[in-house]
Amino acid sequence: MAKKQAYGKALTKTETLNALAEATNLSRKEVAAVIDAMGDLIGKELGKKGPGVFNIPGLMKVKVVDKPASKEHTRPDPFNPGQMMTVKAKPASRRVKVLPLKGLKDKV
């Protein structure tokens, strides 16, 4: 039997800020300000008035996918063969998708 490799826990917000501050020689407050500004910028770019796409160069692309509304319809019931089931209508929605770019894929 193969043993599962044990991974550490994900970094907390504090640990992330401390690691970035140490790696960049910036203060923890400055790193927090950069992350907050990036969050605001991503929100503007993905918002209704923005282009709907935000690239973090070499790491990832964040984009919004607009899902159209679906009408109520009937289809065969997978659990009761021979019977039909009604699928409820769904409103239009916006989904956020994060796509890794080559630089991130190479690091993993």
**Domain residue ranges in the chain:** 11-51, 60-108
Q: What is the pLDDT of residues 54-84, one digit of tens each?
A: 999 999 999 999 999 999 999 999 999 999 9
Q: Which of 82, 46, 80, 84 is nearest to 63 (CA)?
A: 46
The three-state secondary structure class of 94 is: strand
What is the C-alpha separation between 11 and 9, in angstroms, rounded?
Answer: 6
Q: What pTM value is reported for the model?
A: 0.72
What is the C-alpha separation between 62 and 2, in angstroms, rounded?
Answer: 36
